[in-house]
């Protein structure tokens, strides 16, 4: 059964910023791109690099380890060396709260 978990306030994360949040031991990268929020599993599919700590340009996050890039909207690979997309999570904003839906 899925549930919505509050992870942050909208005021904590300005456009172009990201933060790492944890839900039940799972590390999730939460991004604000132009006022919209996106959540990805915070683990690079290439060799388990932590995506938070990488560089966010537009909708693309670059893994700090070997430079793989992913689209934060879909988790899809934008640039190798990763070739498998990253898991995404639905994000909802309720008032000033950011919530992530997990199974």
Q: Is residue 68 near ligand FES by the rule CB under 6 A?
A: yes
Q: Which is nearer to ligand FES, 8 or 53 (CB)?
A: 53
Evaluate whether 70 touches 84 at the Cβ level (below 8 Å): no
Q: Which is nearer to ligand FES, 33 or 44 (CB)?
A: 44
Which residues are within 8 A (CB) of 79 and not within 5 positions of it... i.e. 6 or more apart?
62, 67, 68, 69
Minimum CB–partner distance for residue 50 and ligand FES (Å): 9
Using CB under 6 A as the criterion, what x/- string covers residues 73-102 for binding ligand FES? --------xx--------------------
Q: Which residues bind ligand FES (CB under 6 A)?
A: 44, 46-47, 49, 63, 65-68, 81-82
């Amino acid at each position: 059964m899925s549930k919505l978990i509050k992870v942050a306030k909208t005021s904590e994360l300005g456009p172009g910023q990201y933060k790492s949040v944890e839900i039940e031991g799972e590390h999730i990268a939460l991004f604000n791109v132009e006022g919209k929020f996106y959540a990805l599993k915070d683990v690079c599919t290439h060799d388990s690099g932590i995506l938070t700590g990488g560089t966010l340009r537009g909708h693309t996050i670059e893994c700090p380890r070997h430079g793989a890039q992913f689209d934060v909207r879909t988790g899809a690979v934008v640039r190798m060396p990763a070739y498998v997309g990253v898991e995404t999570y639905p994000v909802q904003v309720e008032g000033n709260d950011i919530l992530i839906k997990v199974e």
